[in-house]
Amino acid sequence: MATLVAFHAHPDDEVVLTGGTLAGAVAAGHRVILVTATDGRIADESDQRMHELRSSASILGVHRVVCLGYADSGFGPTFYPDPPGRVRFGRAEVETAAQQLAAILRDEDAQLLLTYQRNGGYGHRDHVQVHHVGKRAAELAATPQVLEVTMPRELLRRVGNLCRLLRVPPPYPSDTIHTAYAPRATITHRIDVRKFARQKRDAFAAHRSQIGSGPGARLFGLLMVLPPQVFGLVFSHEWFVDPEAPPGTMRRNIFDAPARGGCD
């Protein structure tokens, strides 16, 4: 059995992007560690989001949760000053944060690190920083395998079109969809997570503060009332890119050896 470390930017990213994969790894007998760079706080809010993170992790079966302790950098054109006594993750020294993560990788003897792509998915400065910190930490700890969390760009376009039809705000700004995440042809891992739809849905619901606020609240609310079977169809797969894999590689399990084929 292997040890997997999933490195995410904020509480709730773990379930949106990798919830089914983490639950599946636990069910297969692997040790799963969840690390977040931030506690989700932009200013001096309560620590509710960390409580939500721990609840989500418990539902997914995660064995250990660690927060590196940085402040959320926020999304949008304004990059706010650091709050008193804290550093926003987008301003953190890459080497310092990477040393923190590398210490966890070494302590856990991790065989696999999940991190983000260079574009941070949709350009959030904290997500971009996760890529740089994760890449450097894997080098420092000599972690054998690194996978970058993603999703098909083409799928996001369809979701955006559906949101317009339903007259609900899309999950990502419309001007970022054409460059967000990765083209389908470049994805190396397509993981079927339908068996873990109920866990993912319940873990999603644990992040109550995010479901009930913000421009995507109506969309999230609609998702939460879907029956588990329908939710499983909507969130049937999760995707990753292996930056070291040759073109055309396709894997169906994050721990599998590569097999040839296209991405469907």
Query: What was the pLDDT predicted at 150?
Result: 97
Give the DSSP H or E segment for 233: helix 228-234
Confidence of residue 228 (pLDDT cuts 50, 70, 90): confident
pTM of the model: 0.91
- Per-residue pLDDT tens over the stretch 160-189: 777 777 777 776 777 777 889 999 999 999
Q: What does the pLDDT look like over 191-212, one tens digit per residue?
A: 999 999 999 999 999 998 876 5
Q: What is the mean pLDDT of the chain?
A: 89
Per-residue model confidence (pLDDT) at position 145? 96
3-240: CATH class = alpha beta
State the Cα–Cα distance between residues 261 and 204, nearest whole angstrom.
32
Q: Is 33 exposed, middle or buried (0-12, 13-18, 19+ CB in 10 A)?
A: buried
Task: Give the contacts of 65 (CB within 8 A, at least 6 positions apart).
Answer: 33, 34, 35, 36, 53, 54, 57
Query: For 8-61, what is each residue's pLDDT tens digit?
Result: 999 999 999 999 999 999 999 999 999 999 999 887 667 899 999 999 999 999
